[in-house]
Amino acid sequence: MPSNKTMTHVGSVESDTELIVGAEYPESQTSNVEAFLDSAFKQKISLGEDSDIHVKLNGIHKINIKSSDGHLELIYSKKDSTANGYSSVIEIGDKLSKKLIP
- What does the pLDDT look like over 56-73, one tens digit per residue? 988 888 999 999 889 999
- Do the strands 18-24 and 71-77 form a parallel or antiparallel pair, or are they unpaired? antiparallel
Total-model pTM: 0.87
Eight-class DSSP state of 50: T
23-44 confidence digits (pLDDT tens): 999 999 999 999 999 999 999 9
Per-residue pLDDT at 2 exceeds 50: no
**Higher-pLDDT residue of 4, 83:** 83
For the chain, domains (ranges, CATH) are 9-100 (3.30.70)
